[in-house]
Amino acid sequence: MAELTSSKTIDLLKTLSSEAKEKISAAKLAVDVEQVRVSYFGKKGFISEVLASLKNFNAEARKEIGQVSNQVREELESLLSQKKAELETRELDQKLLKDQLDPTAPGVFYPRGELHPIRKVLREAVQIFEKAGLTPAYGPEVEYENYCFDKLNFKPGHAARDMQATFFVKNQGTERLVLRTHTSPVQVRILLKAAQNNFELPIRVQIPGRVYRVDDDSTHAPMFHQIEGLAVDRTATMGDLRAVLDYFFRNFFDEKTKIRFRPSFFPFTEPSAEVDASCVFCKGSGCKVCKQSGWLEVAGAGLVHPEVFDLCGWDSKSVQGWAFGLGIERLAMLKLGIPDLRLFFENRLSFLRAAQK
């Protein structure tokens, strides 16, 4: 650069200027403009290098070159900032166009969790019985064999105690423990507790919960749910029991649902009844589900056996009670039209979604 004359330097500045103008006008992006600025005016830029050589010229030449270089700088800087602003605006416009909100676009679907159909049916049943005056009460799923069977008047050799029907678990001391096979042992717990509480009456409870049996087919599961009903007072009749169950089934299915009692046997009730509801599918006229009978078996029930009162420390001559036990899965199958109860436990999402009513 040192051997350049002032006129050659001025020519060079003008050449660099027109070169830069071409590059500015050809720039497609704001970053390209910035690159042009750096390559001409940056520390090692073409124009910066020319200006750095000014110290080799005399004062007059410096003034002359200085004037031209100022002019070139002002002109280029204005072009650079104009072009940069223009390209930035265009880039922003394009971005906004691309990111535009489309109010007609379909929304994002977030699936919502739901309660299991069995839990829903159980809750609905509990609510109906609450309206009928039965307060929820609970007991343990691992139960004394004594409460599950003995105090309910099951004799020592009864088939229900068989390993084929009952899951036995580790003994607690001398007490044999079972997974409760029904919710009826909670009757025992409630009667024992009330006996300690000065035989306080009346008792009107419902006992929802899980129960376990060595059972497995399309209408029997190894774990299922029951709701037990228990009412104890100075007097209690099959008529009271029937009225509560009648109320329940009319509310759970529909107003037209009828129930009937068939004589049956349970060691802990006397008399005992099997409760049938008019078939919810054919409304009693007869179909495949009810095997043309017009009726479906839905519960066991009866008056509390005097022996149970005595075994729980009460005087059976001064007290009476009624009780029932409903299978929740059976009710859910009828309500939702599900033919195989195992479907409730496989937990396939397609089934669970279809069963949400």
- Contact positions vs ligand FA5 (CB under 6 A): 182, 184, 213, 215, 220-221, 224, 226, 228, 266, 269, 297, 299-302, 323-325, 327, 329-330, 341
SS3 201: coil
Comparing CB distances to ligand FA5, the nearer of 117 and 325 is 325
CB of 276 to ligand FA5, least distance (A): 10
Q: Which is nearer to ligand FA5, 194 or 221 (CB)?
A: 221
H or E element in which residue 134 lies: none
Taking the least distance from each CB to ligand FA5, the nearer of 265 and 351 is: 265
Kindly state the smallest distance separating residue 343's Cβ from ligand FA5, in Å. 13
Q: Quick check: 316 and 310 in contact, CB under 8 A?
A: yes
- In the complex with ligand FA5, the residue whose CB is nearer, 51 or 331, is 331
Q: How far is the CB of 229 from ligand FA5 (least distance, A)?
A: 7
Q: Which is nearer to ligand FA5, 69 or 269 (CB)?
A: 269
Could you please report the per-residue DSSP string of 8-51?
HHHHHHHHHHHHHHHHHHH--SHHHHHHHHHHHHSTT-HHHHHH
Q: Which residue, 9 or 181, is less far from ligand FA5 as judged by CB?
A: 181
At a CB cut-off of 8 Å and minimum separation 6, what does 141 contact? 179, 180, 209, 210, 211, 212
d(CA 227, CA 325): 6
Report which residue's Cβ sits closest to ligand FA5. Answer: 327
Q: Any idea which residue has 């088939």 for tokens?
A: 159
Minimum distance of ligand FA5 from residue 196's CB (angstroms): 22
* Element (DSSP H or E) covering residue 153: none
CB of 332 to ligand FA5, least distance (A): 10
278, two tokens: 């008019």
The first and second tokens of residue 156, run together, are 């020592």
Using the minimum distance from each CB to ligand FA5, give the nearer residue, 27 or 185. Answer: 185
Task: Tell me whether residue 37 or residue 204 sits nearer to ligand FA5 (CB atom).
Answer: 204
- Closest separation between CB of residue 167 and ligand FA5, Å? 12
CA 56, CA 40: separation in Å to the nearest integer?
Answer: 21
Nearest by Cα to 301 from 267, 275, 327: 275
Number of C-alpha atoms within 13 angstroms, CB side, residue 87?
17
Residues 6+ apart with CB under 8 A from 261: 238, 242, 273, 274, 275, 276, 301
CB-nearer residue toward ligand FA5: 40 or 324 = 324
Residue in the structure block whose two tokens are 């035989």: 199
Shortest spacing between CB 112 and ligand FA5, in angstroms: 29
Minimum separation from the CB atom of position 104 to ligand FA5 (A): 50
Tokens 């937990």 correspond to 347
- Residue number with CB closer to ligand FA5 (79 or 326): 326
Smallest distance from ligand FA5 to CB 109, Å: 35
CA pair distance 321, 203, nearest whole angstrom = 9
Least distance from C-beta 216 to ligand FA5, angstroms?
A: 8
Q: Is the dihedral of CA 158, 175, 205, 222 positive or negative?
A: negative
Q: Which residues does residue 233 pair with via DSSP β-bridges, in sequence order?
A: 320
Chain mean position to CA 261: 39
Contacts of 315 (CB under 8 A, 6+ apart): 309
